[in-house]
Structure 1
Amino acid sequence: MGSKERQQELFSHKVDEADTLLTPSSNGPGQPASAKAASEKDDKSGTESTVTEFKTIPLDESVVYVIDSYALIYQLFFALPPMSGPSGQPVGAIHGYARDIVELIESKSPTHVLAVFDPAGKVFRHELYPAYKANRDPMPDDLRNQIPNIKRMLDAMAIVRLEVPNYEADDVMATVAHQIDQAGGKVFLVTSDKDCRQLISDNVKMYNIRKDSVFDASDLMETWGIRPGQVVDFQSLVGDSVDNVPGVQQIGPKTATALLAEFGDLEGVLENAHTVKAKNRRENLVNGREDAMLSRRLVELDRHIDMEIDWKAAQLSGIDQTAVAELCDEFGFRRLKERLLSADVETAPVVWQCDYKLVESVDQLKEILGNITKEDLLSIDTETTSLRASETELVGYSFAWEEGKAYYVPVKSPEGDLQLDADEVCAAMRVVLEDPHIKKVGQNLKFDMVVLRQHGIRMQGLYFDTLVAHYLLEPGVRNHKLDTLSAKYLNHKPVSFEELCGKGKKQITIDQAPLDKVIHYAAEDADVVLRLVGMLEAMIDDKELTSLLHDVELPLIEVLVEMECNGIRVDTELLRTMSERFSVRLESLRELIYQEAGSEFNIDSPKQLSKVLFEDLELPIIKKTKTGASTDAEVLNQLAAMDVGKLPGLVLEYRQIAKLKSTYVDALPELVNVATSRVHSAFNQDVAATGRLSSTDPNLQNIPIRSEEGRQIREAFVPVKPGWKLLAADYSQVELRVLAHFSGDDTLQQAFIDDQDIHAKVAAEVYGVALKDVTSEMRSSAKAVNFGVIYGQSAFGLAKSLGISKGEAADFIDAYFAQYPGVEKFMLETLALAHQQRSVGTILGRRRPVSDVRNPDTLKDKRQRNLSERIAINTVIQGSAADIIKIAMIEVLDRLEHEGFEARLLLQIHDELVFEVPENELQKLEQMVREEMSGAADLSVPLKVDINVGSTWAECK
């Protein structure tokens, strides 16, 4: 399909035609996880196994997740924006808690789930120490009122609740963990409560649901430097201010760790207290014996509560659909209701059959590859020594084209294990991988393609990427990992990398892992992808995302591969000189800060800075956090604007320079690839829910644009060699042009059609003056409105940013919308549609779910936006701008390759593309880039492209 044909098809989408994005899972609360059957055969030539789900699972085969309910509920209540049900009742914690449980079940496939609650009133520890937990604030009313409904939802979802009078939830969790541990099952305690670290064993681990991370004995050793058996003694010495556990005065974590390392346990520490050399520490230990022993009784969890657990009821077996439907209707959980009801199916045995083989010779490899036809989908995966695609070593290839059957080809193995000649394998694989007629599928194929490029293979025939597809289906989800998708859609938990290679400091690289274990791990990945493709492809088609996937996101992968492989050259000598200059400036700032403060202190410590600002200098406290007065950038900026001295401004400058120095000036030389002498940033298309790209290692999008320091850093980015230049092509105000297109506002559209300075034009219209009479202050105010109000900035926010009164800001907003009525009409229509569909769409049909968008027709103040409403409008505009530049990138690369350009596309930074180009191609490249970028979308206003050329990136501005 040609450029213009593709655009015509893509841009035929209408924002209001797509349905709400719903992703029903093939497994749900009613389906327990897979457990390995007794018959499992492993040998060096392959792995044949059958994994079967049992209707009744014995405890020694169980995987039990125990939820610390109040801890999770509090976390959700304070982290999520307020959410109201149909009758106005608060329901945010109910929704978040139920959603987390569903996602836990889908992603982790537990056999049993238990929800543990603290009882009302006091517990036995209060009898030991009446001041226990005396520092805790009472539960907010809006949260307390949701607790009974959370329990109702749990009952409807058939999740067993545990609550024992006189015992805390931690004690109940300890008893559950002990029972399962003794039986030989696996337990994951869903909590971040440090008290539960004492429960860790080979079978018992902690799980952080927010970070999707497991905490085990190795993590405990890394963080506290102790074993699980020493946790109670450690806490007895350190105490706990949150629970009001006294501990021993002035004994902190490092000291406690050192004491336990020397004396073994609490008794040993107290018995040998008199031998401690440091006088204060010795006296505190001697005098604090009683507090330490009391603290021990308070922190030690009871693992032997006399309680009965109905393990049969706790095993996941299905939900009460009627009750769930009624509760979701009562609370207004339409999307969650559909997800729950569509996911809940009868529990039935599911068999995971697989035949994974090791390829033992190059001749065998050629024979196997010869069986692949053009009708097949070839799932491909590479195993490497690291996740830096541009620098990693290739360890092996895995591939599959029949479900349940996959192969692994090793090219780097531990000594004594088989490995084939890497060059010969590469030559054999190239024949298939570069064949455009054989359709390739994979998970994060961009990574594999960059790796393969280092070995001379330019993979063609890209057909489906499960990571990218799932991102399109669920753009608000951060976890698109293959293991998660497998558990969610196939109800199968693959072998994890940590299971194969370990974790933490003891983790090895995959080339050091035994080959007989690597075979299953690697081949399983290729097999899982192949099984997922059909399911995800159907969902993509159902959500009308097929064109977006195949015409934009998949072709974009090839563009990102090209940029990552190209990289960009940096002048390391210039950066080293700059580092020295920044160090001198930082030292100068330290001296000025100390002079203003009247004393020396650790400027990098928020606690010490807070003391200097708000206690020593008695400056006004702007806002508070849980730990005291805030010293964040917003606070310092407000203080700097007041007549309170130079210190806040100096600290702001110090922080900015220190951050730039550590993040870019000192870090960039370390990121230069030795083989290419260039920095190869990774570009990610599965992170931002709006569809925008991000970059990492390094993140080049965060280099300040307008500051002098940011300009100096851009000076270090240079062309590949003399006679070449950098060319930067930047869309001019693309988001405002998208707004003009969607809103249909005649005045705004005409300003762009006439190629006027839009900020000056808005200022002239709002202030009622001639364009020539617009001052720089007027233009700045208009610019703030253009980029603020359209994303839901309130009068309060605008007043704050412009330094004017709230009333003046409100008047400015009124005047703006009076002059551009189409803009406000578009915003209200967008919100009405988002309220109805619970999702919004971009110009190419990209969908993003949004909840808690209110019906604007029912609002008294139609300009007051909550977070979801700001997200809705932002996604339509910013997401459409992202769609447009992606189309431009695809077309630009196509012409670079087919028209014989030496020029290379290096970077994409928001609305800007950066190239390196020989001087004799400058005119030709500029013309081509302007054509493709300005023609990437057929809008009602022109897409203007600003192009600048320079010997450094800084000169391109």
Structure 2
Amino acid sequence: MPHSFIVSGTNPERTLLLVDGSSYLYRAFHALPELKSPQGEPTGAIYGVLNMLRRLAADYEAQARAVVFDAKGRTFRDDQYPEYKAHRAPMPDELSAQVEPLSEAIRALGWPVLIVEGVEADDVIATLADEATRRGWRAVISTGDKDLAQLVDSRVTLVNTMSNETLDIEGVKLKFGVPPEKIVDYLTLVGDAIDNIPGVDKVGPKTAARWLSQYGSLEGVIAHAGEITGSVGENLRKVLDWLPKGRLPKGRGLITVKRDVALPVTLDQLADRQADPSRQRALYERFGFRTWLKEVESAPQQPQQPSPPSTLQKRRYSAILTEGQLRELVNKLEAAPLVGFDTECVGLEPMTARLVGMSFAFGNEAVYLPLAHEYPAAPQQIDFGTALELLKPWLEGAGFRKVGQNFKFDCHVLANQGLRLAGCVHDTLLESYVLEVHQRHDLGALALRHCGWQTIS
């Protein structure tokens, strides 16, 4: 499951989910057919963005989240470079009419909306992502903007719901030919036609990536500009005053995102926002979103109260650190009528996530099997291959019944290890999504709603 992984063996990692609202607003407007409300209002962009947010909420368990839009008016980049975005046409009337009702609908879904004057959405997102990682959180940024690839690191990932693309460190290297820390230099050389930021004429992605690989950085490219032959070398030398030189960054300064924006909210204030079903009903009726309206109308009229805490029972918690303990665990798993199972991973993308452990629960026992933890003072762990070989019959046995949260993720992670997970009879994420579409589906919310338990965070 993609919602968390254990760093120290005790605290699950928290996630901040950020959405580049401005990026998706335009893309939804141009990608979807022209939709109208019963009153004739344009609603295509509203529908597209809300649909994307619903998908993100189902795919990513986050403890805090926000949708960030560009503010109206000038930014510091316009002051630095008057031609910045100068060729962009004004927002179409059909789109501008959807901005305010969209913001209202986003808030009704339980997502905070952030707009900060004088900067762009990218700068707000970068500041929030930095704050999250400083506090030990992960940040997942949903965007179609290549500029934000400069933020990617071991704790920051980009996702693009419209192209089903996920960019971690390796993903950035594969797509652009350079690592995240060189994205700004790369874009400075290539330029950005959308934002009207010139680069080096006739220098495309391959040439920029090759130069940065050969010379190490933009400063290195500038230092060796006299050695580069051909028309691209001539074009490079023509724009040396535009590229960063000494202490006067120009082109690169426009592309670099700010990470110190004064924000109107704290990270904690972006956590645990509840949806407003009554406002959703009113808006969906106005927009003519009949399917979503039926979903909300079928939900309880009042927020469902958490179940009273289940009767406390004495439970046994243990970690498996020896091969003998693991063999004993396998015997218990095969004898249990139903086992709660979860993979613990570093990373949110199932095709690249690194398996570091597995969790099991049956009867009154909860067991954790660390496989690849590397934090300071980590205990000696069972050989990775040996552990998987011992667990393989149970993992692949269709007769061994398992319950989990988002088994699709676990199946991909185990498939990367040559294992075919079987016997998955209950997926609480999918069951909640089908039966409680109006509610949150993360494991913490399910535990509180159905068992009255507050999970560790």
**Separation (CA, whole Å) in 1 of partners of 2:127 and 2:226:** 37
Aligned equivalent of 1:336: 292
What is the Cα deviation at residue 152 of structure 1?
A: 1.4
**Amino acid of the residue matched to residue 125 of structure 1?**
R
SS of 2:65's partner is strand
Q: CA deviation at 1:489?
A: 5.5
Aligned to 2:271: 315
Alignment of 1:19-418 (within 5 A): 62-211=14-163, 213-276=165-228, 278-293=229-244, 294-337=250-293, 339=295, 342=299, 345=304, 355=317, 360=324, 364=328, 368=332, 371-372=335-336, 376-377=337-338, 402=363, 405=366
Looking at structure 1, the residues matched to 232 and 76 of structure 2 have their Cα atoms a distance apart, in angstroms, of 31
Aligned CA distance change for structure 1 residues 220 and 325 (closer, same or farther; 3 Å): same
- CA separation in 1, counterparts of 2:391 and 2:71? 67
Using the alignment, how far apart are the partners of 1:381 and 1:234 within structure 2? 40
- Counterparts of 1:668-707 in structure 2, within 5 Å, are none
What is the identity, as a one-letter code, of the residue corresponding to 2:239? Answer: G
Q: 1:948 matched to which residue of 2?
A: none
Please give the alpha-carbon distance, in whole angstroms, between the structure 2 residues aligned to 1:165 and 1:133: 17
1:732-763 deviation line (CA, Å, top 9, x unaligned): xxxxxxxxxxxxxxxxxxxxxxxxxxxxxxxx
CA distance in 1, matches of 2:218, 2:157: 24
Asked whether 1:419 is paired with 2:370, we answer: no
Question: Could you say what secondary structure the match of 2:159 adopts?
Answer: strand
**What's the secondary structure of 1:64's corresponding residue?**
strand
Q: CA shift at 1:219, angstroms?
A: 2.0
In structure 1, the residue corresponding to 2:125 is in which secondary structure? helix
1:626-666: CA deviation from partner (whole Å, max 9, x where unpaired) = xxxxxxxxxxxxxxxxxxxxxxxxxxxxxxxxxxxxxxxxx
The CA distance in 1 between the partners of 2:388 and 2:78, in whole Å, is 69
CA distance in 1, matches of 2:116, 2:387: 60
Per the normalisation by structure 2, the TM-score is 0.69
2:350 alignment counterpart: none
Does the 8 Å CA contact 2:432/2:441 hold for their aligned counterparts? Answer: no
- Residue type matched to 2:441 in 1? K
**Per-residue Cα deviation, 1:67-93 (whole angstroms, up to 9, x for no partner):** 111211222223333333232322232
Conserved 8 A contact 1:154-1:161: yes
Encode CA deviations 1:209-263: one digit per residue, 9 max, x unaligned.
Answer: 3355532222222233323332222111111122221101122222222222233
- Amino acid aligned to 1:279: G
Taking the aligned partners of 1:170 and 1:50, their CA distance within structure 2 comes to 30
Q: Hey, what's the Cα distance between the residues in 1 that align with 2:391 and 2:155?
A: 44
Question: Residues 64 and 271 of structure 2 are in contact (CA less than 8 Å); yes or no, is this contact kept in structure 1?
Answer: yes
Cα deviation code 1:413-452 (max 9, x no counterpart): x9956838979996xx79x9697xx8787858xx99xx9x
Indicate how the Cα distance of structure 1 residues 290 and 85 shifts in structure 2: closer, same or farther if over 3 A, else same: same
Are the counterparts in 1 of residues 429 and 441 from structure 2 also a CA contact under 8 Å?
no
Maintained 8 Å contact 2:190/2:205: yes
Q: For 2:190 and 2:76, locate their aligned partners in 1 and report how far apart those are by CA, in whole Å.
A: 22
Given that 1:109 and 1:491 are in contact with CA atoms closer than 8 Å, whether structure 2 keeps it comes out as no
Query: Which consecutive residues of structure 1, in runs of 5 or more, have no partner in the other structure?
Result: 1-32, 43-48, 52-60, 383-395, 475-486, 494-530, 536-957
* Alpha-carbon contact 2:132-2:267 (below 8 Å) kept: no
Compute the TM-score of the two structures, normalised by the length of structure 1.
0.36
Q: Hey, what's the Cα distance between the residues in 2 that align with 1:251 and 1:182?
A: 36
In the TM superposition, what is the alpha-carbon distance from 1:120 to its structure 2 partner? 2.1
Segment drifting more, 230-239 vs 289-298: 289-298
* Aligned-partner SS, 1:159: coil
Is contact 1:356-1:406 (8 Å) kept? yes
Write the deviation string for residues 793-835 of structure 1: whole angstroms up to 9, x where unpaired. xxxxxxxxxxxxxxxxxxxxxxxxxxxxxxxxxxxxxxxxxxx
Secondary structure of the corresponding residue to residue 17 of structure 2:
strand
SS at the partner of 2:140?
strand
**C-alpha distance in 1, partners of 2:243/2:183?**
13
Is the Cα contact below 8 Å between 1:107 and 1:488 reproduced in 2? no
Q: Distance in 1 between matches of 2:125 and 2:184?
A: 16
Partner of 2:351: none
Q: Is the 1:318–1:346 contact (alpha carbons within 8 Å) kept by the matching residues of 2?
A: no
From the superposition, tell whether residues 181 and 347 of structure 1 become closer, same or farther in structure 2 (CA, over 3 Å): farther
Question: Superposed, which structure 2 residues align to 1:243-642 within 5 Å?
Answer: 243-276=195-228, 278-293=229-244, 294-337=250-293, 339=295, 342=299, 345=304, 355=317, 360=324, 364=328, 368=332, 371-372=335-336, 376-377=337-338, 402=363, 405=366, 419=386, 464=425, 466=427, 488=441, 490-491=443-444
Residue 278 of structure 2 aligns to a residue whose secondary structure is helix
Q: Secondary structure at the match of 1:65?
A: strand
Code of the aligned partner of 1:368: K
Q: Which amino acid aligns with 1:291?
A: W
Can you list the C-alpha shifts for 1:390-428, whole angstroms capped at 9, x where unaligned?
xxxxxx9998754864698x9xxx9956838979996xx
Inter-partner Cα distance in structure 2 for 1:63 and 1:124:
30
Higher helix share: 1
Shift of 1:463: 9.2
Q: Determine the C-alpha separation between the residues in 2 that align with 1:130 and 1:421.
A: 60
- Asked if 1 retains the 8 angstrom alpha-carbon contact of 2:126 and 2:259, the reply is yes
Q: Helix, strand or coil: the match of 1:281?
A: helix
Aligned to 1:558: none
CA contact (8 A) 1:235 1:295 kept: no
In structure 2, distance between residues paired with 1:191 and 1:163: 16
Q: Distance in 2 between matches of 1:399 and 1:245?
A: 53
- Kindly provide the CA deviation profile for residues 659-699 of structure 1, in whole angstroms up to 9, marking residues without a partner as x: xxxxxxxxxxxxxxxxxxxxxxxxxxxxxxxxxxxxxxxxx
Distance in 2 (CA, whole Å) between partners of 1:378 and 1:159 is 34
Report Cα offsets for 1:355-397 as digits up to 9, x if no partner. 576573898478536844xxx3467999xxxxxxxxxxxxx99
Tell me how far 1:145 sits from its aligned partner: 1.4
Change (3 A) 1:89 1:249: same
Cα separation, partners in 2 of 1:104 and 1:138, compared to 1, 3 Å:
same
Distance in 2, matches of 1:467 and 1:318, equals 20
8 Å CA contact 1:360, 1:420 repeated in 2: no
State the alpha-carbon separation in 2 of the partners of residues 179 and 440 from structure 1: 38
Q: 2:49, 2:123 → 1: CA distance?
A: 22
SS at match of 1:188: strand
On the 8 A contact 1:34/1:492 being kept in 2, the answer is no
Distance 1:434 1:190 in 2: 36
Question: Relative to structure 2, which stretch is displaced further, 266-275 or 100-109?
Answer: 100-109
Distance 1:95 1:62 in 2: 29
Q: Deviations 1:122-174 (Å, cap 9, x if unpaired)?
A: 43333433332244344333322111101112333443322223322112222
Deviation per residue, 1:173-229 (Å, 9 max, x gap)? 222223333344322222121111222233333222335553222222223332333
Confirm or deny: 8 A CA contact 2:341 2:402 kept in the other structure: yes
Name the amino acid aligned to 1:360.
G
Contact 1:159-1:316 at 8 Å conserved across structures:
no
- Sequence identity percentage: 27
* Aligned-partner Cα distance in 2 for 1:304–1:469: 39
2:273 and 2:388 mapped to 1: Cα distance? 50
